[in-house]
Amino acid sequence: MQSKKITQTNILFMDVIVLMIVINVFVSLVKLLNLNNQHHLMQRGIALLSGGIDSPVAIHLMKERMDIVAAHFHQQPLTDEKEVEKVKELSKILGITKVYLIPFITVLKALTEKCTHKNYFILSKIAMFKAAELIAKKEKAMFLITGENLAQVSSQTLSNLTTITKNVSLEIVRPLLTYDKHEIITLAKKIGTYEVSSGPEICSLLGPKHPATTSNTKDIAQELHNINLLTLLQESVLHSECVILR
């Protein structure tokens, strides 16, 4: 009789353990579903990832708030594969799993040869944003994310940022807008991107020595219209490579 009671107790104990396991699995599944739902509810943004110090920090600040796809505009064959490998490494550090690698040398050469050279950095930034808009349409993204900030010169003065914004359709998120360079470097070191990002800025290869610090929105728009920019961008995006990182 006592043996029977012990057996029944053991069975009841095992039932309780099984029930607890089932409950734990159920709770885990609910949490996973909630995380997936939150991920799907997050709005998507296309982040311009240059390989420099600023853009990875901007992505870091936004990655918990948006589902981010990165876009890198490379200048091969003017540059080598190292810049692209740097971007892939930065993406892995930041937890970005999808990166578009867009060949952009044809666009940049057109800007250099056919537009006012002092406006090169303004024009090239607008061109990159407009190409990113084509990617955004494909990815159903609503925002562009950039590492621009007012502590910089060239295309990042208040006048030029205004001109860039007015020539782009999607909303531009600039999380570093009021940061100074020291703050950005400190944060880059903290998140582990600084060492990878350090090095010469590739984006300045074709740029002028004395870039424009002010600009007129209509004049810039006219320059872009004169080179048939949309056709050039469509060609670049058509030949882009979408890399999935694990």
The string of pLDDT tens digits covering residues 97-144 is 999 999 999 999 999 999 999 999 999 999 999 999 999 999 999 999
Q: Which helix (H) or strand (E) holds 72?
A: strand 67-74
Q: Angle CA(205)–CA(211)–CA(213) in degrees, nearest 5?
A: 140
User: Quick one: angle between helices 105-114 and 229-238, nearest 10?
Assistant: 160
Chain length of the chain:
246
pLDDT in tens, 43-98: 999 999 998 999 999 999 999 999 999 999 998 888 788 889 999 999 999 999 99
Domain borders along the chain are 1-41, 43-244
Calculate the alpha carbon distances from 29 to 32, 64, 153 in Å.
5, 21, 50
What number does CATH give the domain 43-244?
3.40.50.620
User: Quick one: angle between helices 54-62 and 82-94, nearest 10?
Assistant: 30
What's the confidence (pLDDT) of residue 9?
A: 58
Structure confidence at residue 10 as a pLDDT band (50, 70, 90): low
User: Is the overall model pTM greater than 0.85, yes or no?
Assistant: no
Query: Do the Cβ atoms of 105 and 75 come closer than 8 Å?
Result: yes
Structure confidence at residue 200 as a pLDDT band (50, 70, 90): low
What's the confidence (pLDDT) of residue 25?
A: 41
What's the confidence (pLDDT) of residue 16?
A: 54
Q: Which helix (H) or strand (E) holds 44?
A: strand 44-48
